[in-house]
Structure 1
Amino acid sequence: MSEEAVAAPRQRRRRAPDPRALATRRRILEAANNLMYVRGVNSTSIDDVLEASGTSKSQLYMHFPDKLTLIREVVKFRGQLVLEREQGRLERFRTFGALRRWRDALVKANDLQKGAYGCGLGSMASELSDQDEQSRQSLSEMFAAWELLISDGLRRMQKAGSLREEADPDRLATFLMAALQGGYLLANAAHDVEPMAVALDVALEQVKTFVVDKPARSGG
């Protein structure tokens, strides 16, 4: 019997992940994510996470051997949450009106906390980009994926004939993302969502200059 034939049954006999362990890991990540969003990464201690998650040190260290590992996993966890949210809003948009509704949803959500805490990804990037290269790279890839959702939608607009051919979807997507992140930062400093709304409105006005106006219907 070949080694491959012997190995196959062993692989099938591997124990499935313990649902309780997975639930504990998820609880730790959720607690750490919430704390690091509100307090910041550097101001959140392991003891804070233990208290918020209701877990012991042995449970936490079984899944995350040190704080840096936990931080990196929180980056992935938060990134997945943000990108899933943005995919729901941007994955199929193909009109300027849909882009405007995306702006409205972001501003409304940030207004619920009066602009405090900023963007979930942006706030981590400002703390971690010069501290941990792995986290910086992960965050950079997440922002790129977010921008791609926007640029893909702008390309759909071009394909549908509602965005002029000379428009550059990639540059416009970067411009929108820069306006969004700058808006989050100013709203956080002011604890007022208005700067964010203004930044996005001006960026959308730039995009609108490339929108093809539909001809008015003739009467009769």
Structure 2
Amino acid sequence: MDSSKITERGRLTRQRIIEATGEQILASGIGGTTLDTVRAATLTSKSQLFHYFPGGKAELVREVAAWEGRQLLEAQEPEIHDLGSWESWERWRRMLVEYYIARGRWACPIGSLATQAATTDSELASAIATTMRDWREQLADGVRRMKAAGSVDSSADSQRIATVILAAIQGGLVLSQPERSAWPLEAALDNALAPLHHVATTR
């Protein structure tokens, strides 16, 4: 839907629907989220849902994925665009744990969608893959800045380290969920950052 044609009140309603749907998907998955459950959670009518999302559930889920992706990257600002020092990496780590745990989100919305999207919607899967690649590339850029500053060895594989960090985040959240505790995520992140420390220079 062309958002430029929506009134401010309509924009707020549309966003409220997106956010409520995101919470339902995180709790029940794409399969467990229906337009009827969304209507009940947002007190909207069927005609309203199709007014804002003419493509139905598929369009709504794609909008949720886009919104969650923006939220995730914005939560890591401004450090995600720095990561040129050990202090910046440590601040980024704290911010990421805060984003997930303090909000009571014991799973990664993007990671959760990624595990379901391939079998439900190829367009959704492609959009999520793009978000993951963007995230990985920003982390890899941070490793490159560390290399340029002489803080880590020039032989460090930026892409590989960034991929390990992303995998640790997703795995750490899976383990944190049943524990309802941040420590598995924190432990996973510490181990993920270990390769970066391993190639640190003495400068």
- CA deviation after TM superposition for structure 1 residue 96, in Å: 1.9
Partner in structure 2 of residue 5 of structure 1 = none
Partner in structure 1 of residue 85 of structure 2 = 95
The reply on whether 1:55 has 2:44 as its aligned counterpart is yes
Distance (whole Å) between structure 1 residues aligned to residue 114 and residue 178 of structure 2: 16
TM-score under structure 2 length normalisation: 0.88
Distance (whole Å) between structure 2 residues aligned to residue 132 and residue 168 of structure 1: 33
Aligned pair partner of 1:110 in 84, 100, 104: 100
C-alpha contact (below 8 Å) 2:76/2:95 kept by paired residues: no
Partner in structure 1 of residue 11 of structure 2 = 22
- Residue 40 of structure 2 aligns to a residue whose secondary structure is helix
- Residue 131 of structure 1 aligns to a residue whose secondary structure is coil
- CA deviation after TM superposition for structure 1 residue 127, in Å: 1.9
Distance (whole Å) between structure 2 residues aligned to residue 36 and residue 174 of structure 1: 25
The reply on whether 1:45 has 2:34 as its aligned counterpart is yes
After superposition, what is the alpha-carbon deviation per residue over 1:164-209, rounded to whole angstroms, capped at 9, x for unaligned?
1111111111111111111111212433332222111111122101
RMSD: 2.0
- Residue 63 of structure 2 aligns to a residue whose secondary structure is helix
C-alpha contact (below 8 Å) 2:82/2:88 kept by paired residues: no
Q: In 2 relative to 1, CA 152–177 (structure 1 residues): closer, same or farther, beyond 3 Å?
A: same
C-alpha contact (below 8 Å) 1:37/1:117 kept by paired residues: no
After superposition, what is the alpha-carbon deviation per residue over 1:128-169, rounded to whole angstroms, capped at 9, x for unaligned?
222211111111110111111111111111111112111111
Listed as ranges, the gaps of 5+ residues in structure 2 are: none
Distance (whole Å) between structure 2 residues aligned to residue 19 and residue 106 of structure 1: 31
Distance (whole Å) between structure 2 residues aligned to residue 62 and residue 73 of structure 1: 14
Superposition map of 1:170-189 within 5 A: 170-189=159-178
- Residue 31 of structure 2 aligns to a residue whose secondary structure is coil
Q: In 2 relative to 1, CA 208–140 (structure 1 residues): closer, same or farther, beyond 3 Å?
A: same
Aligned identity (percent) is 32
The reply on whether 1:77 has 2:62 as its aligned counterpart is no
Distance (whole Å) between structure 2 residues aligned to residue 117 and residue 127 of structure 1: 17
Q: In 2 relative to 1, CA 186–80 (structure 1 residues): closer, same or farther, beyond 3 Å?
A: same
- CA deviation after TM superposition for structure 1 residue 16, in Å: 5.3
The count of residues paired between Structure 1 and Structure 2 equals 199
Q: Which 10-residue stretch deviates more, 42-51 or 119-128?
A: 42-51
- Residue 76 of structure 2 aligns to a residue whose secondary structure is helix
TM-score under structure 1 length normalisation: 0.82
Distance (whole Å) between structure 2 residues aligned to residue 110 and residue 74 of structure 1: 17
